[in-house]
Chains A and B, each alone.
Chain A
Amino acid sequence: MVSGPLLEFSGVHFAYQPDRPVLTGADLRVEAGQRLAVVGPNGGGKTTLFRLAAGSLTPGSGHVAVAGTRVRHNRAGLRAVRQQVQLVLQDPDDQLFSASVRQDVSFGPVNLGLAPEEIRRRCDEALAALGVAALADRPTHLLSYGQRKRVAIAGAVAMRPRLLILDEPTAGLDPAGVEALLQTLDDLHAGGTTVVLSTHDVDLAFRWATAVAVVAGGGVRMMPAAEGLADTGLLAAADLLPAWAPLVHRVLDRVPGLAGARPGSAAELAALLTAEARAGS
């Protein structure tokens, strides 16, 4: 068993164009079992960070290590990385190449050289985990956007990665779809997968994540979610507004009788205030 972080960035520099660096000495540590939300402005480097973690990009300087081993960008090195780290791209159509859902999900396990029975088992498990088992025999081009997104995630889950990275998985989903996806990610996390996602929704990040990484100005700042998502200065530097919950919690802590209350949603806050009003009258 490897000790230390599951994913580590040390002083990573990266630029698509020499005069416009995206990351300038980024450091990041993702521990096994963490639920990390990566937030930041558009073009801030979140996707670049993820592509570096998955081995799609090579750092200009610094290094990326997965489970204590530096990522080598040769065929064997990338194969080793992709058995541990799976990145789900934002647009599911960038991953779904087959016209059949089941065939598409089987692609990764086939590339791992697994036995047919094991491939079938992994596909069934991944499709069930993402709640799309009923779509197994459907053609990908007849699925809705949300369904395609789930199938794309199933394709990554079928590889059984230790670290699952999702680039803006909730973008384009309706609220029910977001809730269902978060529940699925919770289930995958409970099953032992470390989950990292990027989002612009700081409230969602606050609700879901245990830690947050703010990517802005070429750097990455990591901290506990409750602390980072209440830091108005840090979030403003990343063109983000603070999450409402920590702000409300701070206010509640100053109200006699409500100190320590931690409503996580508007409905919980309303219920809390209603109960307090009744108790007071």
Chain B
Amino acid sequence: MFALDIAAHTGPWRSRHPAEKAMLSLGLLACAVALPPWPGALFSGGAAAVLLVGPARVSPAVVLRAARVPLLFVATSTVPLLVTMHATARLAVNAAGVVPAAQTAGRSVAALICLLLFSATTPLSDVLPRLHRLGVPPAVTEVAALTYRMLFLLVDSVRAVREAQAARLGFRTWRTAYRSLAGQAGAIFVRAFSRARRLEEGLALRGYTGSLAVQVEARRVSAPFVAATVALLVLIVALSAVVRWQW
């Protein structure tokens, strides 16, 4: 998550309007979901992958690291399609399930890459304040933004407490590890409450009256980028239709 976050903040698409990137990523996602897995999902996912490591310059290692856990879910979800259980309670490979499993996995992976294209190029702090224009209540976006910021502090606290415990051999055995983890949870809980109280005071000092509204930097939507996005989506749909028809 942190690697994705850093990529989103430091990548060449950082200054692009989030709507442009949402249109591209969600457009590709729609193609991956709506078009036939072969070749629609392949083209959509492939295009997203090329854009991700090409123009958006996100490191393949970062993409792979971010995709690890979702890929594990995809892999485990295809298992029931690939195996069958006979009446004798014996497991066997289900030949008829290979194609549906491949289609499901292909579509899921393509959709995942499309989502990564958005999350690896668009910082959350660019997206959340703009969501109220889409009708999302400010209270929801403000709490989400605050949670996002506090998450990093919480991780820092967890890391610091864990290091302090480890330095005093807190994880030497299973027994000490359980005890350390319990202590860690208690310490973090207290810290989180204390932090929340101090943060409330810090905000009050700057005139907080119940709203966490901030100024969002104005960004222009690039017409060439939007046109290129539309052209790419049309191309994927057309190519999918042609390949499907000829297959």
> Taking beta carbons and an 8 Å cutoff, which residues of A are in contact with B?
51, 54, 56, 75, 78-79, 82-83, 86-87, 89, 91, 93-100, 102-104, 106-112, 116, 119-120, 123, 137-142, 155-156, 159
Contact = CB atoms under 8 A, between A and B. Distances in A.
Contacts of B209: 75, 111
A119 B215 contact: yes
Given A97-B212, A99-B125, A100-B125, A141 B205 contact: no
A240 to B, nearest CB: 26
Interface in B187-216: 195, 198-199, 201-209, 211-216
Given A98-B145, A100-B123, A79 B207 contact: yes
19 contacts: A54-B205, A56-B205, A82-B205, A82-B206, A93-B153, A94-B202, A97-B145, A97-B146, A98-B145, A98-B212, A99-B149, A100-B126, A104-B214, A107-B206, A108-B206, A110-B213, A123-B215, A139-B123, A139-B125
A156 B130 CA distance: 25
B5 interface: yes
Contacts of A75: 209
A156 B6 CA distance: 27
B73 interface: no
Interface bin, chain B: 35 or more
B178 interface: no
A137 B14 contact: yes
Nearest to A86: B205
A138 to B, nearest CB: 7
Contact of A139 (B5, B214, B217): B5
A211 to B, nearest CB: 24
A280 to B, nearest CB: 55
A110 B215 contact: yes
B201 A94 contact: yes
B124 to A, nearest CB: 6
Contacts of B211: 111
A111 B206 contact: yes
Contact of B207 (A98, A99, A111): A111
B224 to A, nearest CB: 23
Contact of B215 (A93, A95, A106): A106
Contacts of B225: none
B215 A97 contact: no
Contact of B9 (A54, A97, A109, A138): A138
B63 to A, nearest CB: 20
Given A99-B124, A137-B9, A156-B205, 15 more contacts: A56-B205, A87-B205, A89-B198, A94-B198, A97-B199, A97-B212, A100-B125, A100-B126, A106-B214, A107-B213, A109-B215, A110-B215, A111-B207, A139-B123, A141-B149
Most chain B beta carbons < 10 A, residue from A86, A98, A108, A112: A98
A99 B148 contact: yes
Nearest to B6: A142
